[in-house]
């Protein structure tokens, strides 16, 4: 049972898919990304960003455009092919690619032949060691052909953007997809060999009631999703202008959002799902649930992950790469990204060199969010003592010597507690959303 303490959720906080977060990035020295890739020994993971969708949803904060503009798609993919070749040419001989993820946007918004050409290029350029393939999919552009492609490529993990099954909420967020569309997509994916299927769901949507959320959770359970991510809709039209299409007066208030988040947690855990971090759930057989049980859950730019690799190389406009000592983001502007890539140059000129202190604080934040506990140095404890006190006083967290534990009732406050260890926050708070 979660108790609502609005005063503890008043500050906007990052999702901490990295530390420092992308909001703290600045200009990088020339050659930083090239040096990091050249030093990336051992197991590495690749992420390919496909910034196109068949139709743009009103709530979406991603860098994505309509896939109907064919010339734009083709020139972008040509640049992505060039970037693949450039990155691969820099990798040391002992690098081993173990994971490949396609995200976006919607990777299935491009033509199947274009997707297969990217897969061929990955095989041709990179040292692939039986990698685990995963893909994000828009059910609206999913077809039986994509199911066959998934089987041919050997993709075993897929994530479908479902958000809600309630037709009136779908209409209000500009994302209409019928129940039969999701059912059909699920069948194609299972037939294509997907063994770990994630549904993204949302609460806090316009006109959404608790009964609507319950229906969506019930359909998700019945359709057998192995994983479920339950995100709170973040209404930030000052940052995402397309969100002005969403009627603000139809959005649930903070207390209703909290109740919905608590309900989703109770529903899924009562129906056989393990809670993963603060907003994911997985059936016990799923690799994410296993990683959680073994204390091996991690957090990277894709969110919670069972990927143990310390190096994730992101390719495509806006894609972020993470190395132990460096975070670097490709150019967000598609035109500049394409121009640089065509010249055989990498576009990641923004990011941050992670200092030893960043790595220390990042380790505490990741441990709190992934394992619910962290060992904290006396210096850091002294720094956060005063701001941590309200969480300790309300039994949301416990301190035993230098071990800080987030208690079960503290889960909705996990991001806020983690943010106490973030030394950058005072400056850039406006860019984030509420923890619930």
391-403: burial string, b at 16+ Cβ within 10 Å, e else:
bbeeebbeeeeee
- What H or E segment, with its residue span, contains residue 352? strand 350-353
Structure tokens at 400: 């035993």
Contact predicate 327/25, CB 8 Å? yes
Question: Which residue of 8, 23, 38, 62 would you call a contact of ligand SF4, by CB under 6 A?
Answer: 62
Structure tokens at 149: 């492609």
User: What span, in angstroms and rounded, lies between the C-alpha atoms of 319 and 348?
Assistant: 9
Stretch that binds ligand SF4, among 11-19, 55-63, 207-215, 421-429 (CB under 6 A): 55-63
What is the bridge-based pairing of β-strands 303-305 and 128-137?
unpaired
- Number of residues this chain uses to bind ligand SF4 (CB under 6 A): 12
Q: Which is nearer to ligand SF4, 53 or 317 (CB)?
A: 53
Which value, to the nearest 10 degrees, does the dihedral of the CA atoms of residues 134, 40, 323, 309 take?
Answer: 40
Question: Which residue of 106, 198, 334, 349 would you call a contact of ligand SF4, by CB under 6 A?
Answer: 106
Q: How far is the CB of 246 from ligand SF4 (least distance, A)?
A: 13
User: What span, in angstroms and rounded, lies between the C-alpha atoms of 194 and 286?
Assistant: 12
Stretch that binds ligand SF4, among 40-48, 101-109, 190-198, 215-223 (CB under 6 A): 101-109
Question: Which residue of 33, 44, 57, 326 would you call a contact of ligand SF4, by CB under 6 A?
Answer: 57
Q: How far is the CB of 334 from ligand SF4 (least distance, A)?
A: 15
**Residue 230 sits in the site that holds ligand SF4 (CB under 6 A):** no
Q: Which is nearer to ligand SF4, 242 or 333 (CB)?
A: 242
**Residue 105 sits in the site that holds ligand SF4 (CB under 6 A):** yes
Structure tokens at 104: 């976006």
| Collapsed DSSP state (helix, strand, coil) of residue 154 | coil
**What is the pattern of x (binds ligand SF4, CB under 6 A) and - over residues 14-53?**
---------------------------------------x
Structure tokens at 419: 């943010």
**Residue 206 sits in the site that holds ligand SF4 (CB under 6 A):** no
Q: How far is the CB of 229 from ligand SF4 (least distance, A)?
A: 13
DSSP state of 396: S
Q: Which is nearer to ligand SF4, 27 or 68 (CB)?
A: 68
Stretch that binds ligand SF4, among 59-67, 75-83, 230-238, 335-343 (CB under 6 A): 59-67
**What is the pattern of x (binds ligand SF4, CB under 6 A) and - over residues 132-161?**
------x----------------------x
Among 340, 278, 307, 276, residue whose Cα is nearest residue 47? 307
User: What span, in angstroms and rounded, lies between the C-alpha atoms of 264 and 174?
Assistant: 23
Question: Which residue of 38, 60, 90, 339 would you call a contact of ligand SF4, by CB under 6 A?
Answer: 60
User: What span, in angstroms and rounded, lies between the C-alpha atoms of 429 and 59?
Assistant: 20
Q: Which is nearer to ligand SF4, 228 or 352 (CB)?
A: 228
Bridge partners (DSSP) of residue 304 are 299
Residues that bind ligand SF4 (CB under 6 A): 53, 56-57, 60, 62, 64, 104-106, 138, 161, 175
């Amino acid at each position: 049972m979660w108790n609502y303490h609005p005063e503890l959720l008043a500050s906007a906080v990052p999702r901490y898919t990295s530390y420092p977060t992308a909001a703290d990035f600045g200009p990088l020295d020339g050659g930083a990304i090239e040096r990091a890739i050249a030093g990336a020994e051992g197991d590495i993971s690749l992420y390919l960003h496909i910034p196109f969708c068949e139709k743009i949803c009103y709530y979406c904060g991603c860098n994505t455009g309509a896939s109907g503009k064919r010339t734009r798609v083709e020139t972008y993919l040509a640049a992505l092919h060039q970037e693949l070749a450039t990155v691969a040419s820099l990798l040391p001989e002992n690098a081993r690619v173990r994971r490949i993820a396609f995200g976006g946007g919607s990777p299935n918004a491009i033509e199947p032949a274009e997707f297969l050409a990217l897969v061929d290029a990955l095989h041709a350029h990179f040292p692939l060691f039986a990698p685990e393939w995963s893909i994000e999919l828009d059910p609206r552009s999913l077809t039986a052909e994509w199911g066959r492609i998934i089987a041919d490529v050997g993709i075993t993990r897929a994530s479908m953007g479902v958000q809600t099954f309630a037709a009136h909420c779908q209409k209000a967020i500009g994302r209409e997809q019928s129940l039969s569309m999701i059912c059909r997509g699920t069948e194609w994916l299972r037939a294509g060999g997907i063994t770990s299927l994630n549904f993204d769901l949302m609460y806090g949507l316009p006109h959404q009631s608790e009964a609507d959320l319950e229906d969506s959770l019930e359909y998700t359970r019945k359709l057998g999703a192995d994983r479920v991510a339950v995100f709170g809709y973040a209404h930030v039209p000052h940052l995402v202008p397309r969100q002005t299409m969403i009627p603000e007066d139809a959005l649930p208030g903070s207390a209703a959002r909290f109740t919905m988040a608590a309900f989703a947690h109770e529903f899924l855990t009562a129906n056989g799902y393990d809670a993963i971090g603060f907003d994911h759930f997985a059936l016990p057989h799923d690799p994410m649930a296993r990683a959680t049980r073994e204390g091996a859950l991690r957090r990277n730019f894709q969110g919670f992950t069972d990927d143990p690799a310390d190096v994730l190389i992101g390719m495509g406009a806006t894609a972020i790469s993470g190395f132990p000592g460096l975070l670097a983001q490709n150019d967000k502007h598609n035109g500049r990204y394409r121009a640089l890539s065509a010249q055989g140059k990498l576009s990641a000129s923004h990011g941050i060199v992670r200092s030893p202190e960043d790595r220390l604080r990042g380790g505490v934040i990741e441990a709190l969010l992934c394992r619910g506990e962290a060992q904290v140095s006396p210096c850091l404890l002294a720094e956060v003592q005063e701001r941590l006190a309200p969480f300790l006083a309300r039994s949301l967290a416990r301190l035993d010597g230098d071990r800080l534990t987030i208690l079960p009732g503290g889960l909705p406050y996990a991001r806020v507690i983690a943010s106490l260890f973030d030394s950058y926050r005072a400056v850039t708070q406006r860019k984030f959303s509420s923890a619930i």
